[in-house]
Amino acid sequence: MESTVSNIFLANRSKNIRSSAIREILKITVKDSNFLSFAGGLPNPNLLNKELLNQSMEETILFSSEVALQYGDSSGYTDLKKIILEKFVLDEGVKLDSIMITHGSQQGLDILGKLLMDENTNVLVEDPVYLGALQAFSPYGPNLISLPMEFDGPNVSELKKILSEKKIHCFYTNPNYQNPSTITWSLEKRRAVANLLDEFGVILIEDEAYKYLDFSGIIYPSIFSYRKEKDLTFVLGSFSKIISPGFRIGWVIVPEVYKDSFNRIKQGIDLNTNQFSQIILTKLLSLMDINEHFSKIQTHYRNQKNQLVELLNHYLPEVKFQDPQGGMFLWVEYPDVRENELMERIMEKKVVMVPGNEFRLKESDSAFFRMNFSFLQGSDMEEGVKRIHSVYRDIIT
């Protein structure tokens, strides 16, 4: 099939385009509701207050339909940017017009790839790395380089070595409860890396998708906040994990010197982000008590995480993982099995997780799986772990 396509016409860059096992798995689980899925990164839609959402929609049509049903500014709806600046951007010195609204933060990654990455531009990424970033960047042909990670952030001396050896243009990172590794950078490492990036003049692409999903309500300062070279830092935020992925709304804090180019790229790719959703979301955010909401989702996710940790400790004491401080995933190593084999066998039992090699530039021999704990509820979660347990036992004995 692939060969037929390339025989017709296909841009050269198409050969670089990665598919996502996650989304293929998601399709299977959508079609067959008997599947128990630890695969997706699906927030729980029931955590959103539907009455406030209804009120927001009514007010949108009643008072703002002429704006909501029209084209809009490529950089985003101003009142939404104001709320983002006021409630979600904790860094000093960010101006209203530094905020660009995107169709989910995934679109922010695509725009940054287009803006910053040529064929063979050296781009540093964490190992393992968020799959969506690989999908967004790869078509532009950059030379992706893996940075070894430790439990509390990058290996700083390794980072210094890489930066000294070759010109690195951009570094993409997801420093809070990283997807998939769940690693959260210590304050020391944030500061040390910020200094190194300043010293070597490296652009930082800081993805804060999980910033507000700490189980204890901690909010870590951005790496951006430690940098002197603010013009070399893009910070991405998202409403997908804290409000709903259904709206597809994220944002990017864009340095002054890049604003014009960023905005022109946004124009070319979709004119502007969905006004209808932007305005409903703006009303919803102004009606909500956002701190109360954070506390509600943090509690919910903490309980879900604790449940999965207990189940794994009980049924699968051999597996290894770092107990995360936030986010939606566990990053679990299954000793003494091959990743592919375990994956195939659990899918026969109608359970899915995401194989760790999906998140790596070079395949690892160890068997890691990303396990989501936000989606499966109560006995379904236990049933899923039991099925994995029985398959795993079967393989290793």
For the CA atoms of 114, 120, 122, 128, the dihedral, rounded to the nearest 10 degrees, stands at 80
Of 35, 234, 247, 368, the residue at the interface with a copy of itself (CB under 8 A) is 247
Angle at 243 between CA 237 and CA 244, to 5 degrees: 95
Cα separation, 196 vs 202, in Å, equals 8
Window 38-57: residues binding a copy of itself (CB under 8 A): 40-43, 45-46, 48, 50, 53-54, 57
- Alpha carbons within 13 angstroms on the beta-carbon side of residue 355 total 22
Interaction between residue 231 and a copy of itself (CB under 8 A) = yes
User: Nearest approach, Cβ of 63 to a copy of itself (angstroms)?
Assistant: 12
User: Nearest approach, Cβ of 172 to a copy of itself (angstroms)?
Assistant: 14
Interaction between residue 17 and a copy of itself (CB under 8 A) = yes
Window 144-203: residues binding a copy of itself (CB under 8 A): 169-170, 203
Interaction between residue 18 and a copy of itself (CB under 8 A) = yes
Cα separation, 194 vs 92, in Å, equals 16
User: Nearest approach, Cβ of 118 to a copy of itself (angstroms)?
Assistant: 5
Interaction between residue 124 and a copy of itself (CB under 8 A) = no
Largest CA distance in the chain: 66
Interaction between residue 118 and a copy of itself (CB under 8 A) = yes
Interaction between residue 377 and a copy of itself (CB under 8 A) = no
User: Nearest approach, Cβ of 8 to a copy of itself (angstroms)?
Assistant: 6
User: Nearest approach, Cβ of 269 to a copy of itself (angstroms)?
Assistant: 4
Of 257, 348, 362, 365, the residue at the interface with a copy of itself (CB under 8 A) is 257
The nearer residue to a copy of itself, 29 or 184, going by C-beta atoms, is: 29
Interaction between residue 362 and a copy of itself (CB under 8 A) = no
Q: Which range, of 132-140, 215-223, 342-350, 378-386, touches a copy of itself by CB under 8 A?
A: 132-140
- Alpha carbons within 13 angstroms on the beta-carbon side of residue 303 total 8
User: Nearest approach, Cβ of 91 to a copy of itself (angstroms)?
Assistant: 20
Number of residues interacting with a copy of itself: please give it, by CB under 8 A. Answer: 86
Window 202-221: residues binding a copy of itself (CB under 8 A): 203
Interaction between residue 237 and a copy of itself (CB under 8 A) = no
Cα separation, 348 vs 106, in Å, equals 31
The nearer residue to a copy of itself, 65 or 340, going by C-beta atoms, is: 65
Window 262-291: residues binding a copy of itself (CB under 8 A): 264-265, 267-277, 280
Q: Which range, of 62-70, 148-156, 292-300, 362-370, touches a copy of itself by CB under 8 A?
A: 62-70
User: Nearest approach, Cβ of 353 to a copy of itself (angstroms)?
Assistant: 17
